[in-house]
Structure 1
Amino acid sequence: MTSSIEFAPGLTVQGVQPPLNLRDFKLIAFDMDSTLINIECVDEIADAAGRKAEVAAITEAAMRGEITDYKESLRQRVALLKGVTEEHLAHVYRSRLRLNPGAAELVLACKAAGLKVLLVSGGFTYFAERLRDRLALDFARSNQLEIVNGQLTGRMLDQSWGDICDGAMKKETLLRTCSLIGCSPAQAIAMGDGANDLEMMGVAGLSVAYRAKPKVRAQAKVAIDMGGLDRLLELFHA
């Protein structure tokens, strides 16, 4: 493995030689929870059901790669959300969800350089679609919670592309988006923090770990451990 170099404090690079040219890339794909935004939405929703600690423990294990079946881990967590109201989802979005530092700046810089922007998440459409509209993202894919009479049922709905957006689906989504816009995966940047991001990061030309779990940080070409998402721009020509 190529040895890693601390390019600047809190910014580590391995396997690439900066400076790079942002315009050489055509797509940037972001994970949502704990990457583009500051929270794990499923954990905050669980707070309303008095089950945050229980759900967060499963989330942490899944993100560290200690649970190999991501789909089953997500079904378990969503089942614990049964009865939470849609109003609580709105509360999480309004009061707890924040963009991570540098998120808007990085998105704007990428769009200005001609890149398309994809949000691909093991989280939920309720949040991903609002972020897509808020940041004018080009594509978004995530999981859809079933809501009946204003309450979560503890289940998710199948969508046209499949049942759950897990690591394999994140990879497939990145590859299909590359095909759709006419670029190669080598022209894609993938940013994430958890084990379910590794497959899409593995096929992208530039993989970026943002304040990530150790397993993810070790495999990424770039690791941002301090500062905001826009620190990625330090690797590119001004």
Structure 2
Amino acid sequence: MPDGPAGSPDGPVAAPPAPRRTRSGAVVVGPTAIARWRPLALVGLPIIALLLCPFAATGIAQWQQGRAAAGLDDLLTRALGHGALQLLVGAIVLWILFALWALVPILATHKVALLDEDARTLTLRRGLRTAGTAPLAQVVYAVGEAERGSTGLIGVDRGGEEPERWILPEVAWDEESFDGLRVLQAAAGLRPAPSRRVLAALARRSRRGAAHRELAARLGMPWRPEYEEDEAAFGAEFDRVRRVIGGKEPPREGDPRP
């Protein structure tokens, strides 16, 4: 069974999860296709559309001139005679096209698990088709790191030597995605992991602690347990030791020598 903070039998219990659900009430384990598509459509693609809108505006201008040459003098033809509006319409058209094009491959390749709490079954969906189904009694582990980019693993005991492994990309895409995993853990009889927010904060603190230890080791600065919890105390002592090494302050007992 893979190791990890999620789904381990002795992990701490956090606030009740609030996962996404389908219209039928099934819990979505991991992000939905729309959840993964939305940041791309609202942030990334508009920038690309703005960069390419002059090309679309050229096509709109030619279309407008063709209508005007044909004697059409309606409101649309007159409005599109303005260059600024041509750029705006071009950007909007490109944005819509790019967003639709981006959604198609996401829908075709997206993987997610759906938990039916009433029927106590778990279904693996790949794109628009069902890739596997298992009763909750066969789920032997459900793990995943709480940072974006991590992969969720679900083990299904089919009676073989090793459990069948279901892989869920981006299981910690956002809070709701990770909460779906936590609900699955509870339903399968595993100890639910803390919330994504709590685990992410612990991971950040662990990385900061490791960085502080490395800085202290480089200076030869003695490490104290209180530095793990008190960053201000570490920062003050680190600055003092730097001044000692620089000859700007007399050393204390145990300080590294200049």
Smaller-chain TM-score bracket? under 0.3
Q: Compare relative contact order (CA 8 Å, sep 6+) and give the higher one, 1 or 2.
A: 1
- TM (norm. structure 2) is 0.23
Greater strand share, 1 or 2?
1
